Amino acid sequence: MTLLQARGVVKSYGLTPALHGVDLDVAEGELLAITGPSGCGKSTLLHCLAGILRPDAGEVHYGGRRLDTASEATRSRLRRTDFGVLFQFGRLVPELTAAENVALPLLLAGRGRRESREAALTWLERLGVDELADARPGEMSGGQQQRCAAARALVTEPRVLFADEPTGALDTLAGEQLLGLVVRLAREQGMTVVLVTHAAGVAGYADREIVLRDGTVDPTGIGMTAQAAS
């Protein structure tokens, strides 16, 4: 079943075009990698699919309903419930501890403080950083911060995880370890994953890969990854 759909999506930043009529279908439970050179529109497409950005033209559908025309309140609510977002540099709140950062989406969704903290501690443990529960981002390494950010993206057990270059700030080994863990957890929950990356090794974790070039899907670059074909 198609869960996410883009039709004719166009987006520009001022006079600089980013997307030129992108069409895309993402199936429920699929792990899709969006690859391509820097500046080709990968992150812009992901942000349109996640309701962070509104396209200038075209349509984005989630679960059969228009997302691009939904109100800001509706799109924000989806990002607290159905969507988890993992950014390249984590974007943890520096004044909050790891546990407080991870609990934040639950608190914003109206969950109780004790329940939210317990869930946060569980996810920090799953990501292997439970010993940092009371540490602030400035006291962590880059890899530790990114694991905490992954716990925050997953704590709501979202239907869709959007990951925007999640390993870009990490060395190769740390990046592979983090992504392998996130993918395993997503598989266990039957989660749909949309992953933006420029690294072929990272894209190899996906079921399917599309390549963007100059804001459009390159038909010559579409293909199953080696993992999915095996």
Please report, for the domain that includes residue 165, its CATH number: 3.40.50.300
Within a domain: residue 63? no
First vs last Cα of the chain: how many Å apart?
A: 23
Which phi and psi angles does 128 have, rounded to 5°?
A: 80, 25
pTM of the model: 0.88
pLDDT digits (tens, 9 = 90+) for 15-40: 899 999 999 999 999 999 999 888 89
Query: Per-residue pLDDT averaged across 65-71, rounded?
Result: 95
Task: Decide if pLDDT at 14 tops 60.
Answer: yes
Is 57 within a domain?
no
Q: Is residue 201 pLDDT above 80, yes or no?
A: no
Residue 140: pLDDT band with limits 50, 70, 90: very high
* 22 inside domain: no
Indicate whether 70 belongs to any domain.
no
Interstrand relation of 223-224 and 208-213 (parallel, antiparallel or unpaired): antiparallel
**Higher pLDDT residue, 158 or 170?**
158
17 found inside a domain: no
pLDDT tier, 221 (very low <50, low <70, confident <90, very high otherwise): low
Would residue 12 count as lying in a domain? no
Q: Could you tell me which of 194, 214, 206 has the C-alpha nearest to residue 230? A: 206
Q: Is residue 168 part of a domain?
A: yes
pLDDT, tens digit (0-9, with 9 covering 90-100), for 116-132: 999 999 999 988 899 99
Number of domains the chain is built from: 1
Tell whether 62 is covered by a domain: no
Beta strands in 14-152 (DSSP E): 16-27, 31-35, 57-62, 65-66, 83-86
User: Range of 134's domain?
Assistant: 30-40+75-229
**Percentage of the chain exceeding pLDDT 70:** 95
* pLDDT for residue 185: 80
